[in-house]
Every structure is written in structure tokens, then in C-alpha cells.
Amino acid sequence: MKKNAWHFGLLAALLILPACDRQEEPPKEPAAVPQQQVQPVQPPMTSEQAMPPSGAMPMAESMAKGDIAVGEKVYNQACSSCHDEGISGAPKIGDSAAWAERIAKGMEALNKNSINGFTGETGMMPAKGGFSALSDDEVKAAVEYMVSQSK
């Protein structure tokens, strides 16, 4: 029986030890997510909310209307090099005296001269400011912008 008792003791030890081990482990917290991490899912922005409040028109639509914003962009890219400072006889943007006579000719004439280029009393205006890749509408938008700034 001695042998059996020893066996029993060993068996008991084997059973109890892991049990004790388990008790020493820190109690397992329920896997609760802290409240502030659970955020309600935001609904995706509608296109209306994403639009700037000014109600700016999409580019294509603006172009068709010869929009001032398009004109300003074209002006800065293709026309400002001469017309900002009045280089080589170009009527300076914002100089209403320099523009009054030109504006009096009518937009039709200004557009035509800007698209085709012309040589006047003060200098030579290259066709489309030298940017032949510009469409006629883009040049017209730039003229529109220049005139609106020079009245």
C-alpha cells in the first residue's frame, strides 16, 4: 500500500498544483470595450454637404458660362506676365484709364483681338497670349476677368 499512497499523493499534487496556479492568475476581466471607444458610425457625407457653401459651379458648367473664376485662372497662367505690370505696352489690369477706350470697343472686339492677336498703338498682343493650347472660351473668360477688374 505504500506504493499506492505515494501514487495518490503525487496524483493529488498534480491535480492541486495547476488548480493553485490558476487561482494566482489575475482575474480575467470581461473583454469589455471602454465606452468612449464605441463611436456611432457617422453617416457618409452627402454630396450636398461636401459642396462648398458658396454653391460654386462645377468646372465644365463654369467654362460654358465664361465664369470669372475660370478667367482668373487662365489670366494668371497665360496673361498676367504682361498684363499684371503692363509689360511691353500691355494695358495693365485694374488700370481703368488704360482700359476705358478698349472696353468701349465692345467685348466682341476684345475677344477677337485676344484670340487672334493684334498690333495696336502701344504694342503687340500675341494670339491667346502665346498659349495656343487655350480654347477660345478660355481666352474669352480671361478677357471677361480682365475687363471686370479694370472698369
Between the alpha carbon of residue 45 and those of residues 38, 40, 41, 48, 54, the distances in Å are: 20, 15, 12, 8, 17
Q: Nearer to ligand HEC by C-beta: 11 or 107?
A: 107
Q: How far is the CB of 57 from ligand HEC (least distance, A)?
A: 21
In whole angstroms, the minimum distance from the beta carbon of 52 to ligand HEC comes to 27
Q: Write out the residues near ligand HEC by the rule CB under 6 A.
A: 78-79, 81-83, 87-91, 102, 105, 109-110, 113-114, 120-126, 128-130, 139, 142-143, 146
Quote the least distance from Cβ 65 to ligand HEC, whole Å.
17
Residue count (the chain): 151
The position carrying cell 478698349 is 102
Choice between 1 and 97, CB closer to ligand HEC: 97
Going from the C-alpha of 6 to that of each of 16, 17, 57, 142, the distances in angstroms are: 15, 16, 92, 103
Residue with smaller CB distance to ligand HEC, 51 or 81 = 81
Cα separation, 116 vs 13, whole angstroms: 104
Nearest residue (beta carbon) to ligand HEC: 120
Q: Which is nearer to ligand HEC, 57 or 102 (CB)?
A: 102
134 burial class (0-12, 13-18, 19+ CB within 10 angstroms)? Answer: buried
> What is the rounded CA–CA span in Å between residue 112 and residue 151?
19
Smallest separation, CB 36 to ligand HEC (Å): 56
